[in-house]
Structure 1
């Protein structure tokens, strides 16, 4: 399953890029995080801005690592993240504890696995 992670009401994509770097550096998430860029605007010379992060979530503790990393990142910023998979979406504000994130990510994985 891949979880889509976005920032809600963020100024530009730099915070999302920072989050992507933070997650990519976490043991257990190396190689599982990728940035998805938007369409290139007429005035842009390079690729579009980062719109979301895709995180490959499987078994083996990946959800726990992701939950703890997201909670730590949210604890150091005044940001809200949106996590989605298909039609299932939820938002988590700064200060969200890792257990809440882990429950939601397990629910997403269960839905993606068909049960």
Structure 2
């Protein structure tokens, strides 16, 4: 399989409340499962940081959609490229809200190994 990943940062155009974040997560997981996309979204008060990974055509399309999405401003690619294996193979989309939020996998916080893994990817 031709796997590809993109990590980007963006500025939200408005703050989502808990219900808005849950709806975003539900829709993302449904669509990502359908298109074999996995990843992680970190929601900070002034920025989103997201890694998306999967088949390159699907990642390209999803990233184009994100760039046109009215919920984002200043979408900036931090890192991208082909990968041999997924960084987050079991996560149709993990959501991290600062400082912590319960997600399907359990409680995630900024010290979580998976969150640290995302930051390590950015260091390469």
TM-score (norm 2): 0.36
Q: Determine which structure has more spread, i.e. the larger CA radius of gyration.
A: 1
Higher RCO (CA 8 Å, separation ≥ 6 residues): 2
Of Structure 1 and Structure 2, the greater strand share is in: 2
TM-score (norm 1): 0.38
